[in-house]
Amino acid sequence: MPSTTYTLPIGPLHVALEEPMYFDIQVEGETVRSVELSAGHVHRGMEALAMQRNYFQNVTLVERVCSLCSNSHPATYCMAVENLSGLIVPERARYLRVIADEVKRIASHLFNVGIMAHLTGFDSLFMHAMEVREIMQDAKEGVYGNRMNLGQCIIGGCRRDIDDSTAPFLLGQLELLKPQLHELYGVFERDPLIRTRTQGIGLLSHAEARRHAVVGPVARASGVAYDLRRKAPYAVYPDLDFEVQTDTKGDVHSRALLRLREAVESVKIVEQCLRQMPGGPINTREVPVIPPGEAVARSEAPRGEVFYYVRSDGTDTPQRLKWRVPTYMNWEALQVMLANCQVADIALIVNSIDPCISCTER
């Protein structure tokens, strides 16, 4: 029956996709047989731009690589430059960086589960998840000055302190968030519509997760307890008490629940940081001297491990700045997750890796 097999092109611009991406999907009836991915539709030449800007300007540039993990990029970039120049970041600044990272993680995870609800057609839940996220957006605006680009990291520390006026505000927002997050988890866990649409689809076994070396919540939902905050601790994570969330089911539903549990852990991390943060300077006042050489740094972004490489020839502009983002590792595994799924589930499965195309193609 040759008429039942056809190629379904999805993208680069498609209503079900949040960002441009092209899928060539071989479909038999309603079932996906194979998937070809092609990328490169939002290439902005950011690595070339980075080589035309000095070390200070690049902090702003890399913050704009991606909006949802916009703190992970400058934080990791600054870590790489600090590694290169041997700059020691004050302890208070390291706490402030963790707070910024975790606040962004909560907002990013809530966005992703919200979009999942939207893709199942459950728009009132989507709206509600976005409204819960709004508590965090408000916190970001009140503490840092912007809803997305916090502008917190600079080479040598942080820019904005969390003082007597903003700390109670941030804690207040977390108090508002906690019951809402708990309630939302219950809905995502038990709602029959969400469960029928998302359980058992987009399966990624433990073995496949290792074979594709996936990172972040995608890896952890398939039983690979890989979290850089524990595997290669940076900033002040060794001093913080939190649990790496894992699951073994490896389907779309378990990834969403895992993200919500991580958001709960992030709330705990921020609270701990605010409690045990020491006083002192929030950045090194000196202007860093960046010697010739190369350095790397990595950190755990909301979507997984992000990796920065910087090479300097001793001038004020990097000779090369390169980064690898989590989605690059995760989207190859889509070929496994999408195999034999229903056409209607494609968007849900793609969303479950929390893809960030603009990071990956930059």
Partner 1 sequence: MLPFLKIMLRNLLLGPSTDPFPFAPAKTHKNFRGCAEHDPEKCILCGICRHVCAAGAIQIHPSEDGSGMQYLLWHNSCVFCGMCAHYCPTGALTMSDNWHLAHSGAEMFSNCISDFIPFGACAQCGAKIQPRPQTIIDTLGARSPDRFLLCPQCKRQGIVQNVAQARPTRRQENP
In sign, the C-alpha dihedral spanning 244, 349, 347, 22 is positive
Smallest separation (angstroms) from partner 1 to the CB of 188: 9
162, burial (CB in 10 Å: exposed 0-12, middle 13-18, buried 19+)? buried
Using CB under 8 A as the binding rule, whether residue 315 contacts partner 1 is answered as: no
Q: Which residues within the stretch 190-209 sit at the binding site for partner 1 (CB under 8 A)?
A: 190-193
By the rule CB under 8 A, 142 interacts with partner 1: yes
Q: Which is nearer to partner 1, 192 or 279 (CB)?
A: 192
For partner 1, give the closer residue by CB, 91 or 138. 138
Given 26, 83, 85, 149, the residue binding partner 1 (CB under 8 A): 149
Amino acid making up residue 143: V
60 binds partner 1 (CB under 8 A): yes
- For partner 1, the closer CB: 187 or 339: 187
Among 17, 25, 32, 63, binds partner 1 (CB under 8 A): 63
171 binds partner 1 (CB under 8 A): no
Nearest to 217, CA basis, from 329, 128, 133: 329
CB-nearer residue toward partner 1: 76 or 152:
152
Q: Which residue lies nearer to partner 1 by CB, 55 or 307? A: 55
116 binds partner 1 (CB under 8 A): no
Select from 151, 202, 216, 217 the one that contacts partner 1 (CB under 8 A). 151
* Contacting residues toward partner 1, per CB under 8 A: 53-54, 56-61, 63-64, 122, 124-125, 128, 131, 134, 138, 141-146, 149, 151, 154, 159-160, 166, 183, 186-187, 190-193
